[in-house]
Structure 1
Amino acid sequence: MNYTLLLLAADEKTGGGLFGNPIIMMILMFVIFWVVLIRPQQKQRKALAAKQAALKKGDQVITIGGMHASVNAVSEKTVSLKLSEGVFVKYDKSAIATVLTAKADAADKKDA
């Protein structure tokens, strides 16, 4: 009887193996967060920055405020958007949320 109690006490002290170590669990959680949350967001941010840098006259864009417009002129940090005939608004490039080029519009219409 005493022998089984000693075995149970010894099992409790081991901590459950490799994943019982709190440091390994914290590292594992960080890796999971990196793969699931941080890395995809970084890729998305880089893709948007590349699209913003490649803006050219005639591209259709959507601003972060939801305004749909076409690009009239592009400078280093700003972009002039044409809302309607004779109405132009100047925005920072960082305010562009989505870039819709003519190729993307044709592909969207083809899929629909």
Structure 2
Amino acid sequence: MWLAGEAQTGGAGIIQMIWPFVLMFAVFYFLLIRPQQKKQKQRTSMLNQLKKGDKISTIGGLHGTVVELTDDTVVLRVNDTTKMTFERSAINTIITSAPEVKES
């Protein structure tokens, strides 16, 4: 009987040791991992919604209007004569979205 009681205490000790780690993981998940995943999903959605005529800002702070789009690149018109090509991932924010064009 003495051995059975000792085994039960050892099992409870392991659960007591693991509980803080489970709690820490839950805190990290809800405070760090989950918000980062949500932010990444919003950014991907924003990049997928880019269209010609959108006024955008790049990560470097350059402002321009989208002239051409491909899967990986974006061509921006910065002024009347200058066009610049950027990776799509270099887009930071959409300042104003171009109006929807309805095709009849």
Query: Residue 50 in 1 paired to residue 45 in 2?
Result: yes
The TM-score with structure 2 as length reference comes to 0.74
Cα offsets for 1:25-83 (capped at 9, x unmatched)? 11111111110111111111111111111110111111111111111111111000111
Q: How many residues align?
A: 86
Q: Which runs of 5+ in 2 are unaligned?
A: 1-8, 99-104
Q: Which runs of 5+ in 1 are unaligned?
A: 1-13, 104-112
Instruction: Tell me what 1:10 maps to.
Output: none
Instruction: Tell me what 1:92 maps to.
Output: 87
Higher relative contact order (CA 8 A, sep 6+): 2
* Cα root mean square deviation, aligned: 2.0
The TM-score with structure 1 as length reference comes to 0.69
SS at match of 1:55: coil
User: For residues 28-107 of structure 1, what are the structure 2 equivalents within 5 Å?
Assistant: 28-102=23-97
Structure 1 Cα separation of the partners of residues 17 and 57 of structure 2: 46
